[in-house]
Amino acid sequence: MRLHNGAQMIYTREQLTAAFLEKNRRKVEMLFSDADRYRKECVGDEVYLRGVIEFSNYCRMDCLYCGLRRSNASLKRYRMEAKEILESAALAAGLRIPTIVLQSGEDKFWRIKDICLLVEKIKKLNVAVTLSIGELSAADYGQLRSAGADRYLLRFETSDAALYGKLKPHSTLSKRLRCLAALRKSGYEVGSGIMVGLPGQSAESIAEDILLFKELDVDMIGIGPFIPHPHTPLSGAAPGTLDAVLKTVALTRLATGNTNMPATTAVGTIDPLGRQKALACGANVLMPNITPAAYRKYYEIYPDKICISEDVFECRGCVEGMIKASGRTLSFGIGGRRGFDPEKKK
Protein backbone atom coordinates (compact mmCIF):
# COMPACT_ATOMS: atom_id res chain seq x y z
CA MET A 1 0.00 0.00 0.00
CA ARG A 2 1.29 3.46 -0.90
CA LEU A 3 0.50 7.08 -0.13
CA HIS A 4 -1.02 9.19 -2.90
CA ASN A 5 2.43 10.66 -3.61
CA GLY A 6 3.95 7.22 -4.05
CA ALA A 7 5.69 6.98 -0.68
CA GLN A 8 5.64 3.52 0.87
CA MET A 9 3.19 3.05 3.72
CA ILE A 10 4.88 2.00 6.95
CA TYR A 11 3.28 -0.93 8.75
CA THR A 12 5.75 -3.65 9.69
CA ARG A 13 7.81 -3.78 12.86
CA GLU A 14 11.01 -3.72 10.79
CA GLN A 15 9.90 -0.73 8.70
CA LEU A 16 8.79 1.23 11.76
CA THR A 17 12.02 0.50 13.62
CA ALA A 18 14.21 1.48 10.67
CA ALA A 19 12.27 4.71 10.09
CA PHE A 20 12.50 5.62 13.79
CA LEU A 21 16.27 5.08 13.76
CA GLU A 22 16.79 7.02 10.51
CA LYS A 23 19.49 9.69 10.86
CA ASN A 24 19.48 11.16 7.37
CA ARG A 25 17.85 14.56 7.79
CA ARG A 26 16.41 14.68 4.30
CA LYS A 27 14.72 11.31 4.79
CA VAL A 28 13.39 12.34 8.21
CA GLU A 29 11.89 15.50 6.74
CA MET A 30 10.35 13.41 3.96
CA LEU A 31 8.78 11.22 6.65
CA PHE A 32 7.26 14.28 8.30
CA SER A 33 5.97 15.57 4.95
CA ASP A 34 4.46 12.19 4.07
CA ALA A 35 2.70 12.04 7.44
CA ASP A 36 1.36 15.58 7.02
CA ARG A 37 -0.01 14.76 3.57
CA TYR A 38 -1.57 11.55 4.83
CA ARG A 39 -3.12 13.41 7.75
CA LYS A 40 -4.74 15.78 5.27
CA GLU A 41 -5.96 12.87 3.17
CA CYS A 42 -7.43 11.02 6.16
CA VAL A 43 -8.79 13.75 8.46
CA GLY A 44 -8.50 17.00 6.52
CA ASP A 45 -7.13 20.34 7.66
CA GLU A 46 -9.44 20.80 10.63
CA VAL A 47 -7.95 20.93 14.12
CA TYR A 48 -10.22 19.89 16.98
CA LEU A 49 -10.17 21.33 20.48
CA ARG A 50 -10.41 19.29 23.69
CA GLY A 51 -10.57 21.44 26.83
CA VAL A 52 -8.92 19.76 29.81
CA ILE A 53 -10.10 20.19 33.41
CA GLU A 54 -7.55 18.65 35.82
CA PHE A 55 -9.94 18.29 38.72
CA SER A 56 -7.82 16.36 41.24
CA ASN A 57 -4.11 15.63 41.66
CA TYR A 58 -4.55 12.92 44.29
CA CYS A 59 -3.48 9.51 43.04
CA ARG A 60 -3.42 6.08 44.63
CA MET A 61 -0.82 4.85 42.14
CA ASP A 62 2.96 5.10 42.46
CA CYS A 63 4.22 5.18 38.87
CA LEU A 64 7.97 5.78 38.81
CA TYR A 65 7.81 8.60 36.25
CA CYS A 66 4.85 10.66 37.47
CA GLY A 67 4.91 13.69 39.74
CA LEU A 68 1.40 12.85 40.99
CA ARG A 69 2.59 9.50 42.40
CA ARG A 70 1.31 8.87 45.91
CA SER A 71 4.86 8.82 47.33
CA ASN A 72 5.53 12.42 46.29
CA ALA A 73 5.12 14.14 49.65
CA SER A 74 6.34 17.49 48.29
CA LEU A 75 3.30 18.02 46.07
CA LYS A 76 0.46 20.21 47.31
CA ARG A 77 -2.70 18.19 46.73
CA TYR A 78 -6.08 19.55 45.66
CA ARG A 79 -9.55 18.50 44.65
CA MET A 80 -11.83 20.87 42.80
CA GLU A 81 -15.38 21.21 44.05
CA ALA A 82 -18.13 19.97 41.74
CA LYS A 83 -19.36 23.54 41.37
CA GLU A 84 -15.92 24.67 40.19
CA ILE A 85 -15.74 21.85 37.66
CA LEU A 86 -19.14 22.73 36.24
CA GLU A 87 -18.28 26.43 36.08
CA SER A 88 -15.07 25.64 34.19
CA ALA A 89 -16.96 23.42 31.76
CA ALA A 90 -19.59 26.11 31.17
CA LEU A 91 -16.89 28.70 30.53
CA ALA A 92 -15.23 26.41 27.99
CA ALA A 93 -18.53 25.68 26.25
CA GLY A 94 -19.13 29.42 26.04
CA LEU A 95 -15.79 29.72 24.25
CA ARG A 96 -16.94 27.09 21.74
CA ILE A 97 -14.66 24.35 22.98
CA PRO A 98 -16.78 21.36 21.95
CA THR A 99 -15.20 18.61 24.06
CA ILE A 100 -14.57 18.70 27.81
CA VAL A 101 -11.95 16.33 29.21
CA LEU A 102 -12.24 15.51 32.92
CA GLN A 103 -8.80 14.35 34.02
CA SER A 104 -7.40 13.40 37.41
CA GLY A 105 -5.08 11.07 39.22
CA GLU A 106 -6.65 7.80 40.33
CA ASP A 107 -8.48 9.43 43.21
CA LYS A 108 -10.89 7.10 44.99
CA PHE A 109 -12.40 10.03 46.89
CA TRP A 110 -14.63 10.52 43.85
CA ARG A 111 -17.46 7.98 43.77
CA ILE A 112 -18.63 6.76 40.40
CA LYS A 113 -22.11 8.11 41.04
CA ASP A 114 -20.65 11.58 41.69
CA ILE A 115 -18.70 11.54 38.42
CA CYS A 116 -21.81 10.29 36.63
CA LEU A 117 -23.70 13.30 37.96
CA LEU A 118 -20.95 15.63 36.71
CA VAL A 119 -21.08 14.02 33.29
CA GLU A 120 -24.86 14.35 33.11
CA LYS A 121 -24.70 18.05 33.96
CA ILE A 122 -21.84 18.79 31.56
CA LYS A 123 -23.64 17.03 28.72
CA LYS A 124 -26.43 19.59 29.07
CA LEU A 125 -23.93 22.15 27.72
CA ASN A 126 -24.14 20.37 24.34
CA VAL A 127 -20.54 19.19 24.40
CA ALA A 128 -18.80 15.84 24.21
CA VAL A 129 -17.36 14.50 27.46
CA THR A 130 -14.08 12.63 27.72
CA LEU A 131 -12.91 10.98 30.93
CA SER A 132 -9.31 10.29 31.92
CA ILE A 133 -9.46 8.88 35.44
CA GLY A 134 -7.59 5.59 35.24
CA GLU A 135 -8.29 1.92 35.75
CA LEU A 136 -11.84 1.06 36.81
CA SER A 137 -14.07 -1.98 36.67
CA ALA A 138 -16.07 -2.84 33.57
CA ALA A 139 -19.24 -2.06 35.55
CA ASP A 140 -17.94 1.41 36.44
CA TYR A 141 -17.05 2.12 32.82
CA GLY A 142 -20.56 1.05 31.87
CA GLN A 143 -22.18 3.38 34.39
CA LEU A 144 -20.15 6.34 33.21
CA ARG A 145 -20.98 5.58 29.60
CA SER A 146 -24.68 5.36 30.47
CA ALA A 147 -24.40 8.77 32.16
CA GLY A 148 -23.30 10.22 28.82
CA ALA A 149 -19.50 10.02 28.68
CA ASP A 150 -18.46 9.78 25.03
CA ARG A 151 -14.74 9.07 25.23
CA TYR A 152 -12.22 7.63 27.62
CA LEU A 153 -8.44 8.16 27.62
CA LEU A 154 -6.29 5.41 29.09
CA ARG A 155 -2.65 5.44 28.04
CA PHE A 156 -0.71 2.19 28.08
CA GLU A 157 2.62 4.13 27.96
CA THR A 158 4.59 1.14 26.64
CA SER A 159 3.71 -2.19 25.05
CA ASP A 160 6.80 -3.76 26.62
CA ALA A 161 5.27 -5.80 29.47
CA ALA A 162 8.51 -6.02 31.46
CA LEU A 163 9.19 -2.29 31.19
CA TYR A 164 5.56 -1.56 32.03
CA GLY A 165 5.86 -3.61 35.21
CA LYS A 166 8.98 -1.72 36.29
CA LEU A 167 7.45 1.70 35.66
CA LYS A 168 4.00 0.90 37.04
CA PRO A 169 4.56 -1.59 39.88
CA HIS A 170 0.90 -1.42 40.94
CA SER A 171 -0.40 -2.79 37.65
CA THR A 172 0.32 -4.97 34.63
CA LEU A 173 0.11 -4.38 30.91
CA SER A 174 -2.42 -7.20 30.61
CA LYS A 175 -4.71 -5.47 33.10
CA ARG A 176 -4.40 -2.18 31.21
CA LEU A 177 -5.31 -3.93 27.97
CA ARG A 178 -8.32 -5.56 29.64
CA CYS A 179 -9.48 -2.10 30.70
CA LEU A 180 -9.12 -0.83 27.13
CA ALA A 181 -11.16 -3.81 25.90
CA ALA A 182 -13.86 -3.12 28.50
CA LEU A 183 -14.04 0.51 27.39
CA ARG A 184 -14.53 -0.50 23.78
CA LYS A 185 -17.21 -3.01 24.78
CA SER A 186 -19.02 -0.26 26.71
CA GLY A 187 -19.27 1.82 23.53
CA TYR A 188 -16.73 4.57 24.17
CA GLU A 189 -14.44 6.20 21.69
CA VAL A 190 -11.19 4.97 23.19
CA GLY A 191 -7.96 6.94 23.46
CA SER A 192 -4.55 5.74 24.52
CA GLY A 193 -0.96 6.87 24.25
CA ILE A 194 2.70 6.47 25.07
CA MET A 195 5.73 8.36 26.30
CA VAL A 196 8.79 8.46 24.08
CA GLY A 197 12.22 8.30 25.70
CA LEU A 198 11.37 6.21 28.74
CA PRO A 199 14.42 4.69 30.45
CA GLY A 200 14.81 1.18 29.05
CA GLN A 201 12.67 1.84 25.98
CA SER A 202 13.96 0.72 22.57
CA ALA A 203 13.19 1.62 18.98
CA GLU A 204 11.74 -1.87 18.58
CA SER A 205 9.37 -1.36 21.51
CA ILE A 206 8.16 1.93 20.03
CA ALA A 207 7.46 0.07 16.80
CA GLU A 208 5.45 -2.45 18.83
CA ASP A 209 3.59 0.42 20.50
CA ILE A 210 2.50 1.73 17.10
CA LEU A 211 1.41 -1.73 15.97
CA LEU A 212 -0.60 -2.10 19.18
CA PHE A 213 -2.37 1.21 18.48
CA LYS A 214 -3.32 -0.23 15.11
CA GLU A 215 -4.39 -3.59 16.53
CA LEU A 216 -6.58 -1.93 19.18
CA ASP A 217 -8.02 0.47 16.58
CA VAL A 218 -7.89 3.29 19.12
CA ASP A 219 -9.70 6.50 18.22
CA MET A 220 -7.26 8.98 19.76
CA ILE A 221 -3.53 8.63 20.35
CA GLY A 222 -1.51 10.94 22.60
CA ILE A 223 2.26 10.86 22.12
CA GLY A 224 4.60 12.94 24.25
CA PRO A 225 8.13 12.92 25.58
CA PHE A 226 9.25 11.43 28.85
CA ILE A 227 10.13 14.40 31.07
CA PRO A 228 11.86 13.43 34.33
CA HIS A 229 10.31 14.82 37.50
CA PRO A 230 12.70 15.74 40.34
CA HIS A 231 10.56 14.04 43.00
CA THR A 232 10.38 10.62 41.37
CA PRO A 233 12.78 7.65 41.20
CA LEU A 234 13.56 8.59 37.56
CA SER A 235 14.66 12.12 38.39
CA GLY A 236 18.15 11.59 36.98
CA ALA A 237 17.10 9.94 33.72
CA ALA A 238 17.59 11.60 30.34
CA PRO A 239 14.44 13.16 28.85
CA GLY A 240 12.87 12.16 25.56
CA THR A 241 13.85 14.23 22.54
CA LEU A 242 11.66 16.28 20.25
CA ASP A 243 12.90 14.48 17.16
CA ALA A 244 12.01 11.07 18.61
CA VAL A 245 8.52 12.28 19.51
CA LEU A 246 7.90 13.79 16.08
CA LYS A 247 9.09 10.62 14.35
CA THR A 248 6.70 8.61 16.50
CA VAL A 249 3.81 10.97 15.73
CA ALA A 250 4.53 10.76 12.01
CA LEU A 251 4.89 6.98 11.97
CA THR A 252 1.72 6.56 14.02
CA ARG A 253 -0.22 8.72 11.57
CA LEU A 254 1.05 6.67 8.64
CA ALA A 255 0.18 3.41 10.40
CA THR A 256 -3.25 4.34 11.80
CA GLY A 257 -4.79 6.66 9.19
CA ASN A 258 -7.78 8.59 10.51
CA THR A 259 -7.01 8.40 14.24
CA ASN A 260 -7.28 11.69 16.13
CA MET A 261 -3.85 12.74 17.42
CA PRO A 262 -3.14 15.72 19.70
CA ALA A 263 -0.12 17.94 19.57
CA THR A 264 0.48 17.45 23.28
CA THR A 265 1.27 20.01 25.94
CA ALA A 266 4.33 17.96 26.86
CA VAL A 267 5.86 18.38 23.40
CA GLY A 268 5.25 22.12 23.74
CA THR A 269 7.04 22.01 27.08
CA ILE A 270 10.30 20.64 25.66
CA ASP A 271 10.24 22.99 22.65
CA PRO A 272 8.47 26.37 22.32
CA LEU A 273 7.30 25.35 18.85
CA GLY A 274 6.75 21.70 19.71
CA ARG A 275 3.01 21.70 19.20
CA GLN A 276 3.30 23.51 15.88
CA LYS A 277 5.88 20.95 14.74
CA ALA A 278 3.62 18.09 15.79
CA LEU A 279 0.76 19.62 13.81
CA ALA A 280 3.08 19.63 10.79
CA CYS A 281 3.80 15.90 10.96
CA GLY A 282 0.46 14.27 11.67
CA ALA A 283 -1.36 15.80 14.66
CA ASN A 284 -4.90 17.20 14.33
CA VAL A 285 -6.01 18.01 17.91
CA LEU A 286 -5.04 20.66 20.47
CA MET A 287 -5.95 20.45 24.15
CA PRO A 288 -6.18 23.86 25.84
CA ASN A 289 -6.03 23.75 29.63
CA ILE A 290 -9.25 25.07 31.16
CA THR A 291 -8.37 24.19 34.74
CA PRO A 292 -8.65 27.26 36.98
CA ALA A 293 -5.25 28.95 37.21
CA ALA A 294 -5.16 28.51 41.00
CA TYR A 295 -4.81 24.72 40.56
CA ARG A 296 -2.81 24.28 37.38
CA LYS A 297 0.68 24.45 38.84
CA TYR A 298 -0.16 21.59 41.22
CA TYR A 299 -1.12 19.16 38.47
CA GLU A 300 2.55 18.45 38.01
CA ILE A 301 2.90 15.17 36.17
CA TYR A 302 6.17 16.59 34.89
CA PRO A 303 7.99 19.86 35.76
CA ASP A 304 7.97 23.23 33.98
CA LYS A 305 4.66 22.59 32.24
CA ILE A 306 3.65 25.38 29.88
CA CYS A 307 0.52 27.53 30.14
CA ILE A 308 0.09 27.22 33.92
CA SER A 309 -0.37 30.98 34.44
CA GLU A 310 -2.68 31.74 31.50
CA ASP A 311 -6.41 32.09 32.00
CA VAL A 312 -8.91 30.18 29.88
CA PHE A 313 -9.41 33.09 27.48
CA GLU A 314 -5.66 33.33 26.84
CA CYS A 315 -5.37 29.57 26.26
CA ARG A 316 -8.29 29.59 23.85
CA GLY A 317 -6.86 32.54 21.94
CA CYS A 318 -3.39 31.02 21.87
CA VAL A 319 -4.48 27.74 20.32
CA GLU A 320 -6.65 29.49 17.73
CA GLY A 321 -3.68 31.63 16.72
CA MET A 322 -1.49 28.54 16.53
CA ILE A 323 -3.97 26.82 14.23
CA LYS A 324 -4.24 29.80 11.89
CA ALA A 325 -0.46 30.26 11.79
CA SER A 326 -0.14 26.60 10.80
CA GLY A 327 -2.43 27.16 7.82
CA ARG A 328 -5.08 24.92 9.29
CA THR A 329 -8.76 25.39 10.15
CA LEU A 330 -10.22 25.53 13.65
CA SER A 331 -13.15 23.13 13.87
CA PHE A 332 -16.07 23.66 16.20
CA GLY A 333 -17.22 20.07 15.67
CA ILE A 334 -16.67 17.17 18.02
CA GLY A 335 -14.51 15.19 15.61
CA GLY A 336 -15.60 11.65 16.48
CA ARG A 337 -14.76 8.41 14.68
CA ARG A 338 -17.52 6.13 15.95
CA GLY A 339 -20.58 7.99 14.68
CA PHE A 340 -21.83 10.14 17.55
CA ASP A 341 -20.56 13.36 15.95
CA PRO A 342 -23.10 14.51 13.37
CA GLU A 343 -20.64 16.99 11.84
CA LYS A 344 -17.79 14.66 10.99
CA LYS A 345 -17.89 10.91 10.75
CA LYS A 346 -14.74 9.04 9.94
What pLDDT does residue 312 have? 84
User: pLDDT tens across 251-278, in order?
Assistant: 999 999 999 999 999 999 999 999 999 9
**Total number of domains constituting the chain:** 1
Mean pLDDT of 271-291: 96
Contacts of 188 (CB under 8 A, 6+ apart): 141, 145, 149, 150, 151, 152
Residue 300 lies in a domain: yes
Residue 337 lies in a domain: no
Residue 333 lies in a domain: no
CATH of the domain at 86: 3.20.20.70
pTM over 0.75? The answer is yes
User: pLDDT tens across 40-64, in order?
Assistant: 999 999 999 999 999 999 999 999 9
Domain span including residue 200? 13-328
Mean pLDDT of 140-144: 98
Mean pLDDT of 265-294: 96
What pLDDT does residue 80 have? 98
Contacts of 233 (CB under 8 A, 6+ apart): 64
Residue 338 lies in a domain: no
For residue 24, pLDDT over 70 is answered with yes
pLDDT level of residue 340 (50, 70, 90 thresholds): low
